[in-house]
Amino acid sequence: MSSAAQIETQKQVAEIGDKYKYGFVTDIEMDMAPKGLSEDTVRFISAKKGEPEWMLEWRLGAFRRWLTMKEPNWARVHYPKIDYQNAYYYAAPKNAPLKQSLDEVDPKLLETYKKLGIPLHEQMALAGVAVDAVFDSVSVATTFKDKLNEAGVIFCPISEAIRDYPDLVKKYLGTVVPVTDNFFATLNSAVFSDGTFVYVPKGVRCPMELSTYFRINASETGQFERTIIIADEGSYVSYLEGCTAPKRDENQLHAAVVELVALDHAEIKYSTVQNWYPGDEEGKGGIFNFVTKRGDCRGDHSKISWTQVETGSAITWKYPSCILRGDHSVGEFYSIAIANNYQQADTGTKMIHLGANTRSRIISKGISAGKAQNTYRGLVSVYGKAKNARNYTQCDSLLIGRECGAHTVPYIESRNPTARIEHEATTSKIAEDQLFYCLARGIPQDEAVSLIVNGFCKEVLQQLPMEFAVEAQKLVGISLEGSVG
Amino acid sequence: MLEIKNLHVSVGDKAILKGLTLSIQPGQVHAIMGPNGSGKSTLSYVLAGRAGYDITEGSILYDGEDLAAMPPEARAAKGVFLAMQYPVEIPGVTTMTFLKTALNSQRRQRGETDIDAIGVLKLVRAKAKTLNVSEEMLKRALNVGFSGGEKKRLEILQMAIFEPKLAVLDETDSGLDIDALKLVAEGVNALRSPERAMLVITHYQRLLDYIVPDRIHVLAKGRIVAEGGKELALELEAKGYDQFVKEPA
């Protein structure tokens, strides 16, 4: 770990006077939909986006369906009833039409990104990362388009894709996460306001890591982004997603949907570092994060790999999954979920083995501190035709303090006798003697906790692309500061 | 360097040290010998600042400062080092990462700048060679799967890297065969210097054949009950601790 960088970060945190360093609000004029949710809201959003009729119909269909659905309550999370009529479903920086270059972007927005640690200009030069930054609901800046165009890669806001590539969007939208999938996904289908669209053509290895940074800025807004990534035959793409939100007393809803499709011999690597505002030390405020992420290994020999570092949100309800449809397809899930103070995390994955010789691997590291509850919930399902399916699952829980909880809820179903499924689970505590050993070597307590927890998470951190791994390591430390009394 | 006066220490309700007095000057090597349960490890933990070891009476001055008032990490930064009897495993943290983090944590507390990864690597490699700590060991997770000898060698390696002013060696000989013991003792002897004080805690005289102390203190029931030169170790070896442990008639 870069200790200098860590000190720097800790200093920043101290300066802000709070443990959440992203708790600032950017003062920009916002263009908002009227409060509440109705067909009119859906029409408003669709009109704002200048969408074609088919898209509006699709949204309305979802909305009508949503009205008939009930909020799921099977997860081990507790929260006051969400009033869906008491929120804004669309908020966009005013005068935010499409920009041709970064120079046209409101300097205040760029300043915000700078505070988030993603200076676009620098990132363009240094990291070679193309960033599609979503600020509340509208993509404001997309970089590296030219280089991607050359390779034939489409990387744009989904609103743009609906306009410019309607056939591709129609072909894939809702095919992995159907409109009817679940309460939150259906809500998203009705009101999603932006998100990212990626298409990597046949045989193309995407020349750079693609990255989107999400941030909820306006108060009482939900963020409902929709992301679709399609890797055509023999292609490869790595996609990074980072999330932060400013500090607010009220809870904000985030209900995203991500759909991934990998065709024959294609590979998608999807990495998330989620650092939504977790609420304060008394559990006040924070993001409700109800996210549906699913990948479809549609082609033979395809591969989808999810890596997530979940440190934020008051509530996390998230199960990035893989449908292993193609023969010899591979699904992976690497997860770090940290819950401190009053945070509640219920997260895991589903590996659905449909094709023959499909393989899946699940590595989950849950860390609980304070009064937090952290649940791993996972399903490994082997269907009748999935001959020789293989799964390996490892769930490790680490407890810090006495008032937190760790829960592991694995579901395993096999309808094929040739399947081989392995599940390993451990629960441990940060031992007092480990801490003392670090202290006695001159390592202060918070840094010692960070070191030990980073060690515990190592197998997952190794999966992250380099630039993200450093940030993630720091986050692990920051989110657990003061957790050992 | 170290002035311990009438030290009383309790763990929970139990009084372990009951009026221990000890003084060590720079350049000296003192040994504490004593039977099990005499309070040897308690003394080492109190010096390093482990939580739960409460000083109820007496004082510890280190370089003229009140040691008890310093948090453990500050003691390390100011040159107090404890080679532990049972070095702790930290899974997933490579030995090299740990050494770099510890070294730079100490430096930062002293207002010095960090040494970068390459600098640390060079420093560690140079010191590791003499202690027979392999490159491969440095890449493994800290103490995970290390043999008893490897763990103790790593403790001494840390002592060589951190260059403490006061080194406390708690049962550094335990669990070592004679060859491993010699190697560790050589490492310790190489670190003897006029500026450095050492406190060697051991149950057995064997270690003191290799690390020859200037002075020996016998600890029993929380007090120093006998003191002498290195020849005292041999006497103890011959007669045992019984003479000190027995209740007076």
Is A329 part of a structural domain of the chain? yes
Q: Select the residue of A7, A437, A452 nearest B84 (Cβ to Cβ).
A: A437
What is the per-residue pLDDT across A379-412, written as a single tens digit (0 to 9) for each?
999 999 999 999 999 999 999 888 888 999 999 9
What is the pLDDT confidence band of residue A3, given thresholds at 50, 70 and 90?
very low
The answer to which of A110-114, A437-441, B114-118 has the lowest mean pLDDT is A110-114
Average pLDDT over residues B205-218: 92
Adjacent-strand bridge partners of B203: none
Adjacent-strand bridge partners of A212: A132, A241
Is A249 part of a structural domain of the chain? yes
Is A428 part of a structural domain of the chain? yes
Q: Tell me the C-alpha distance between B226 and B32, whole Å.
A: 10
What number does CATH give the domain B2-245? 3.40.50.300
Phi, psi of A2 (to 5 degrees): -75, 105
Is A295 part of a structural domain of the chain? yes
More confident of the two residues A479 and A263:
A263
Euclidean distance between the first and final Cα of chain A, in Å?
Answer: 23
Is A1 part of a structural domain of the chain? no
Q: Tell me the C-alpha distance between A264 and A28, whole Å.
A: 45
Q: With contacts defined as CB-CB under 8 Å, which chain B residues touch A7? A: 108
Predicted local distance difference test score (pLDDT) of residue A6:
42
B93·A451 Cβ contact <8 A: yes
Predicted local distance difference test score (pLDDT) of residue B165:
96
Q: Tell me the C-alpha distance between B166 and B24, whole Å.
A: 9
In the predicted model, is pLDDT for residue A136 greater than 90?
A: no
Average pLDDT over residues B124-148: 91
Q: Residues 6 or more apart from A413 whose CB is under 8 A from it?
A: A379, A380, A381, A382
Is A203 part of a structural domain of the chain? yes
Predicted local distance difference test score (pLDDT) of residue A481:
77
Amino acid at A190: A
More confident of the two residues A425 and A121:
A425
Q: Tell me the C-alpha distance between B21 and B217, whole Å.
A: 10
Distance of CA A383 to the CA centre of its chain: 28
A444·B105 Cβ contact <8 A: yes
What is the per-residue pLDDT across A264-294, written as a single tens digit (0 to 9) for each?
999 999 998 887 777 777 777 778 888 999 9
More confident of the two residues B173 and A220:
B173
What is the per-residue pLDDT across B73-123, written as a single tens digit (0 to 9) for each?
999 999 999 999 999 999 999 999 999 999 999 999 999 999 999 999 999
What is the per-residue pLDDT across A160-181, written as a single tens digit (0 to 9) for each?
899 999 999 999 999 999 999 9
Which range has the top average pLDDT, A304-318, A363-377, B53-67? B53-67
Closest-CA residue in chain B for A455?
B92
Average pLDDT over residues B170-187: 90
Here the ipTM equals 0.95
Domain ranges of chain B: 2-245
A433·B102 Cβ contact <8 A: no
In the predicted model, is pLDDT for residue B64 greater than 80?
A: yes
B97 at interface of A, judged by CB pairs closer than 8 A:
yes
A440·B71 Cβ contact <8 A: no
Predicted local distance difference test score (pLDDT) of residue A108:
61
Is A10 part of a structural domain of the chain? no
A440·B82 Cβ contact <8 A: yes
Query: Which of B90, B94, B96, B112 is the best substitution to test chain A (most A C-beta atoms within 10 A)?
Result: B90
The length of chain B, given as a count of residues: 249
Q: Tell me the C-alpha distance between A223 and A225, whole Å.
A: 6
More confident of the two residues A41 and A261:
A261
More confident of the two residues A21 and B7:
B7
What percentage of residues in chain A have a pLDDT greater than 70? 77
B11 at interface of A, judged by CB pairs closer than 8 A:
no
Amino acid at A211: S
B88 at interface of A, judged by CB pairs closer than 8 A:
yes
Q: With contacts defined as CB-CB under 8 Å, which chain B residues touch A439? A: 49, 71-73, 76
What is the pLDDT confidence band of residue A439, given thresholds at 50, 70 and 90?
very high
B50 at interface of A, judged by CB pairs closer than 8 A:
yes
Q: Which residue has the tokens 């993001």?
A: A287
In the predicted model, is pLDDT for residue B137 greater than 70?
A: yes
Predicted local distance difference test score (pLDDT) of residue A131:
58
Q: Tell me the C-alpha distance between A268 and A302, whole Å.
A: 8
In the predicted model, is pLDDT for residue B54 greater than 70?
A: yes
In the predicted model, is pLDDT for residue A113 greater than 60?
A: no
What DSSP string describes A89-109? S-EEESS----SSGGGS-HHH
**Residues in A lying within 8 Å of B, measured between beta carbons:** 1, 3-4, 7, 431-434, 436-445, 447, 451-452, 454-459
Q: Select the residue of A431, A432, A455 nearest B141 (Cβ to Cβ).
A: A455
In the predicted model, is pLDDT for residue A212 greater than 70?
A: no
A433·B88 Cβ contact <8 A: yes
Classified as helix, coil or strand, A171 is: helix
Number of folded domains that form chain A: 1
**Average pLDDT over all residues of chain B:** 92
Predicted local distance difference test score (pLDDT) of residue A252:
74
Answer yes or no: are the C-beta atoms of B166 and B174 closer than 8 Å.
no
A441·B76 Cβ contact <8 A: yes
Domain coverage including residue A229: 19-479
Distance of CA A211 to the CA centre of its chain: 12
